[in-house]
């Protein structure tokens, strides 16, 4: 029962204090799960982010379900997921009651602009931290460089290409490298 209460309160806090969606949440998730609670290590955190990002649904809910299940099984998954969803639900419900009046307030507009800047920083810092903790192998270096070059080129030339495709293509490349290694008889570690 104590584990479930801790999961609920942790994810309630994460849900209440994370603005900007999934990527902005990654830095807070990393701090809570690795540094404070020590529920998972850095490698498992990267795996969790990869799973949460590649499965349908928001990264916050997928991460909550993953960690909740990891800590306390199915009841933990349900408790953590509920905890992370409640703040957003309550805030959106309250905003919807007074939506027009809410948007017309000058300080709300200014606050949103400030939050946007913070979200960009949170996403960037989370990406840098994840990049630093990524295992330094030739495969990972080539894949990260390739994706970065493609993303920059597509942005410069205004080519519309969803980030979902980058995730799917990277997964396919990872599977292909795994199967090639298996065929060569070198186990399954892609280096």
The per-residue pLDDT for 21 is 64
CB contact at 8 A, 66 and 79 = no
pLDDT reading at 191 higher than 70: no
Helix (H) or strand (E) segment spanning residue 131: helix 106-133
Global pTM reads 0.58
Nearest to 2 by CA among 63, 79, 78: 79
140-172 pLDDT, tens digit each: 899 999 988 998 999 899 888 888 888 888 889
Average pLDDT estimate for 67-94: 91
Residue with tokens 């990264």: 59
Q: What is the C-alpha separation between 191 and 143, in angstroms, rounded?
A: 12
Residue with tokens 């307030």: 105
The per-residue pLDDT for 20 is 62
Q: Which two tokens stand for residue 71?
A: 């800590």
11-28 pLDDT, tens digit each: 998 888 876 666 767 778
104-130 pLDDT, tens digit each: 788 877 887 888 888 788 788 878 888
Phi and psi based region of residue 58 (left: phi greater than 0; alpha: psi -120 to 50; beta: remaining): beta
Nearest to 15 by CA among 68, 73, 82, 95: 82
């Amino acid at each position: 029962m104590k584990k479930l209460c801790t999961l609920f309160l942790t994810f309630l806090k994460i849900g209440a204090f994370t603005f900007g969606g999934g990527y902005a949440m990654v830095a807070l998730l990393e701090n809570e799960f690795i540094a404070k609670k020590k529920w998972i290590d850095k490698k498992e955190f990267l795996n969790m982010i990869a799973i949460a990002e590649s499965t349908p649904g928001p990264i916050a809910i997928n991460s909550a379900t993953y960690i909740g299940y990891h800590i306390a099984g199915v009841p933990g998954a349900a408790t953590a997921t509920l905890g992370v969803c409640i703040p957003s639900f309550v805030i959106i419900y309250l905003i919807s009651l007074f939506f027009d009046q809410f948007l017309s307030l000058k300080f709300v507009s200014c606050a949103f602009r400030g939050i946007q800047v913070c979200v960009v920083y949170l996403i960037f810092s989370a990406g840098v931290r994840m990049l630093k903790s990524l295992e330094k192998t030739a495969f990972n270096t080539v894949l990260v460089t390739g994706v970065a070059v493609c993303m920059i080129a597509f942005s410069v030339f205004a080519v519309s290409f969803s980030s979902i495709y980058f995730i799917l293509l990277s997964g396919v490349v990872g599977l292909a490298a795994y199967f090639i290694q298996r065929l060569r008889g070198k186990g399954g570690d892609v280096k």
